[in-house]
């Protein structure tokens, strides 16, 4: 990550924390990924040489910046979907500032729709960071759209363990995948689709 992007990600992190501090309604918050988790995901993109990445839940693009920088280093591209047009517009502006706009296909789209329209094995990596109660219903498509050996990362599995318990039970019972929980940030569950 170059100096400009490091400065921008620091700035956005601070902005996000301040923005969310006085918002009692969770849905009004930006809910950006913790910097440690963002760094972990960016490292995993590079380590796995992911070139086709799908992010579900853009918000204002904090995690998108980290992922896009890493995926560009691999010569790849990513798609990031968000329901809220204003947030997606903010993400576009932040990606512009970072010189990363051309790496990311930003879509105003429901995560379920993005998944159902994805081809089998389309994605090297998927980052899931949207509304947790829906995750269980995404599972069949999540496995289908990951390429064999592909990686799924899910945030907030420790901070909101109760809300993802049913999703986690599905993952654990599915012998097509393996999983490991990293206690970084809010807890990132890593799931690999077996070859």
Ligand X SMILES: C[S@@+](CC[C@H](N)C(=O)[O-])C[C@H]1O[C@@H](n2cnc3c(N)ncnc32)[C@H](O)[C@@H]1O
- Which of 8, 9, 32, 76 is close enough to bind ligand X by CB under 6 A? 32
Q: Is 115 in the site for ligand X (CB under 6 A)?
A: no
Query: Which of 110, 163, 186, 192 is the binder for ligand X (CB under 6 A)?
Result: 110
Ramachandran region, residue 185 (left: φ > 0; alpha: ψ -120 to 50; beta: rest): left
* By CB under 6 A, residue 185 contacts ligand X: no
Q: Which x/- pattern over 40-59 shows residues binding ligand X (rule: CB under 6 A)?
A: ----------------xx-x
**Of the candidates 83, 181, 190, 192, which one interacts with ligand X according to CB under 6 A?**
83
The nearest distance, CB 7 to ligand X, in angstroms, is: 17
In the complex with ligand X, which residue's Cβ is closer, 21 or 173?
A: 21
Q: Residue 63 or 118: which CB sits closer to ligand X?
A: 63
Q: By the criterion CB under 6 A, which residues form the site for ligand X?
A: 31-33, 56-57, 59, 62-63, 81-84, 87, 110-111, 129-131, 134
């Amino acid at each position: 990550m170059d100096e400009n992007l490091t400065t921008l990600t620091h700035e956005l992190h601070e902005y996000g924390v301040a923005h969310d501090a006085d918002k009692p309604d969770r849905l009004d918050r930006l809910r950006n990924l913790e910097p440690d988790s963002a760094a972990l995901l960016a490292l995993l993109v590079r380590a796995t040489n992911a070139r086709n990445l799908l992010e579900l839940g853009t918000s204002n693009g904090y995690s998108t910046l980290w992922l896009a920088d890493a995926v560009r280093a691999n010569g790849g591209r990513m798609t990031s979907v968000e329901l809220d047009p204003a947030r997606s517009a903010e993400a576009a502006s932040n990606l512009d500032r970072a010189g990363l706009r051309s790496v990311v296909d930003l879509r105003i789209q429901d995560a379920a729709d993005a998944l159902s329209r994805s081809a089998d094995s389309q994605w090297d990596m998927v980052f899931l960071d949207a509304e947790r109660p829906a995750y269980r219903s995404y599972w069949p498509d999540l496995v289908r759209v990951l390429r064999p050996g592909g990686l799924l990362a899910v945030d907030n599995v420790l901070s909101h363990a109760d809300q993802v318990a049913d999703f986690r039970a599905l993952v654990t019972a599915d012998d097509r995948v393996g999983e490991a929980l990293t206690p970084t940030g809010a807890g990132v569950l890593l799931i690999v689709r077996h070859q």
